[in-house]
Structure formats: structure tokens, C-alpha cells
A and B are shown apart, each in its own frame.
Chain A
Amino acid sequence: MVTLNVNGKNEEMDVSPEMPLLWALRDRLNLTGTKYGCGRAMCGACTVHVDGEAIRSCSIMVGTVAGGKKKITTIEGASGKVAAAVINAWQKLDVVQCGYCQSGQIMSAITLLSKNSKPTDTDIDLGMEGNICRCGTYVRIRQAIHQAAKSLA
């Protein structure tokens, strides 16, 4: 039995510690807002938070974050001032197109802004490098992060 603390709740499941966190979230806990994009930590569609750090759930194994001490947060549980500012900016600027990568983009942006409240374009580019958007919404992702930063200032 493995215990995962997800969105503030301890969840028990009978899975191998080698199972990628992504599939535990999606297939066991039915938290489908976290997406599968590449399975190789190349695209960031599966980004969730572990103790506030953005991690690629396709690549982090259940065993790495098990035990209930590490707090896992998915898009469904994203909350707080920074998360609200990011999501609000995303909606105001209509960042999304197909939307598939955007849970991951938003989770990464929250971590970025939590560490750096006034990021430059370069900070955004380097900090968000791991999140691919095939629709090419990057112009608006940059704008939305700046806007969220401004609203938090």
C-alpha cells in the first residue's frame, strides 16, 4: 500500500512504487486535469506540484513522493493567491487554444511566480522551457505571467 497526499487528502492505493505519479493520479484517483503528453519529461503537460515545486508527474515515480509527507497538488487543487492570479490572467487574456497543455503551463507558472515575483521575459522563457504548447500560445503565456505578477504586486 502506498499513501499519497494529493490536494490535501491522504489517498491509499495498491500500486508499485515504480508507477509514474501521472498514472496514479489519472487512472487511480481520476484526476484527469493532469495530462499525458510525452511520458518522457519532455513536454510538461503532466506538471503538478510537490511541496510547491513543479514536477513532471510522468517522470516522478510514486515511491519518490509517497508516505503522506510530501504534498502533491494538481490543477484541480491549485489554490491560493498566486494560483488565482495566474488562472485569472490566463482567462482574461484567452491564452488557451486546444487547452491540453494548459494545466501544466499554469502549474509551472504558479511555481515560477512563487519563486520570482517579478520575472523578466528571460526568466519566463527559462523557467517555462519545459512546457510545450503545440498550438503556439507562448506570446500570451508570457503576457499572462506578467499580468499575474502585476496583479500580485
Chain B
Amino acid sequence: MASMIQPKARRYLPGLLLTAVLLMVSATAAQAQTSTADSLAAWQKVSSVLTHPRCLNCHQPNVPKQGDNRQIHVPLVVRGPAGHGVGAMTCGSCHNASNNPTSRTPGAPHWHLAPASMNWEGLSDRELCLMLKDPKRNGKRTPEALVTHMANDGLVLWGWEAGAGRESVPMPHKEFVDHLKVWVAGGTACPK
């Protein structure tokens, strides 16, 4: 997943570093007093966001979904070798780096399907949780890197500014990141 955040990271490098430093400080401080129960409770909030159509629609095995009704993407587009589609059907064929008010196509930097290892469709709450913290499947991310990613990545942030005709993630982004931090601080607890 490292490749995914690179373009953004280059642009916002100073800010990103600062966030990371702050995160480490606060995480260490928080870890001491955050319980597993707190972590588990925070996970429930986190998971409610991850399973929102804005996130789940592109964490799919092979074909993205679209819309609040989570229909199969029209026109049909498949993952292809790099998660960017095939032939004349790539993500960049239609999606810009920002929402297009005329065609209503949603847009964000490096718009593409999440890697196949990060498919969230059809996972139970526990499976989703285990997947998210498994470095083999989450793009070799430490829990802290997950927080950084979800706090800063342009494509993730798009979920909160999804444009007309689709619901943005209802929980405020800051609140989501706070829950995520608690989940991490309490040891990334997963439901049974």
C-alpha cells in the first residue's frame, strides 16, 4: 500500500512527518491508560466507517461497486494487473483528482481499487479487524501507519467529501481518526 500514499506523501511531506511524530507521542502516552475494552469499543466505531459504501465500494475482490445502493460499477470495470483496470477501461479514464461537478464522476488523487489483499466485502466484523492489522494483507502497515494513512490519504479523505448524489461518511473525520487512535492505543483489539 506504500505506493498508494506516495504521491500525496510527496506533496504533504512536512505535514505528514509532523503528524507522525505527534501520533507516536500521543500513542505512547495513551497506550498506558487505554484498555482492551476501550479498544474494542473504538473498533466498533471504526468498523462502522470502514463498511460505509464510500470505503467498502472500492475494497472489493475484482469489480468496484458504486453508489449508496452499492450496485456493481456501471460500466463494468475489472481490477486488471495493477488495480487500475484493463484495456480502454481504467480508473483514470473517467476519474479526475477531484469530483467532477458536470459529469458527477467522483474523483480523488490516485483513484483506484484497493489491492485484492484488502478486500473487505463479505468479511465479518472480526475478519475485517484481523485483516486490517495483518501486515501481510494491509500493505505492510504498522498500526500507527494505518492511522497515518487514514488520517491523511487523499483517497481516504474523499469519503468525507464525496460530492453530490452520494452520502459522505456521516461520522466526522476527526472523530473517526480519534476512534482509530484509541483502537490502536488499546492494542488493536478485535471482536471474538
Interface of A toward B, CB cutoff 8 Å: 18-20, 39-42, 44, 47, 53-56, 58-61, 64, 107-109, 111-112, 115-116, 119, 123-124, 126-131
Contacts and interface: CB of A to CB of B under 8 A. Distances in A.
Interface stretch (B3-11, B101-109, B184-192): B101-109
Among A20, A55, A130, max chain B CB count under 10 A is at A130
B25 interface: no
A129 B74 CA distance: 9
Q: Please report whether the interface of chain B is mostly helix, strand, loop or mixed according to DSSP.
A: loop
B18 interface: no
B62 to A, nearest CB: 11
Contacts of B89: 54, 126-130
A58 B105 CA distance: 10
A119 B104 CA distance: 32
A47 B89 CA distance: 11
B78 interface: yes
Given A54-B93, A60-B94, A130-B75, A123 B103 contact: no
Contact of A55 (B74, B94, B102, B104): B94
A55 B105 CA distance: 13
In this complex, which of A18, A53, A61 has the most chain B Cβ atoms within 10 angstroms of its Cβ? Answer: A61
B90 A126 contact: no
Contacts of A61: 96, 100, 102
A59 B105 contact: yes
B100 A131 contact: no
B92 interface: yes
A39 B102 CA distance: 8
A39 B103 CA distance: 6
B116 interface: no
Contact of B104 (A40, A115, A123): A40
Interface string B95-132: 11100111111000000000000000000000000000
B101 to A, nearest CB: 6
Contacts of B75: 42, 44, 129-130
A39 B101 CA distance: 11
Nearest to B98: A61
Nearest to B76: A129
B96 A60 contact: yes
B86 interface: yes
A112 B105 contact: no
Contacts of A108: 87-88
A83 to B, nearest CB: 13
A127 B88 contact: yes
B77 interface: yes
Nearest to B80: A126
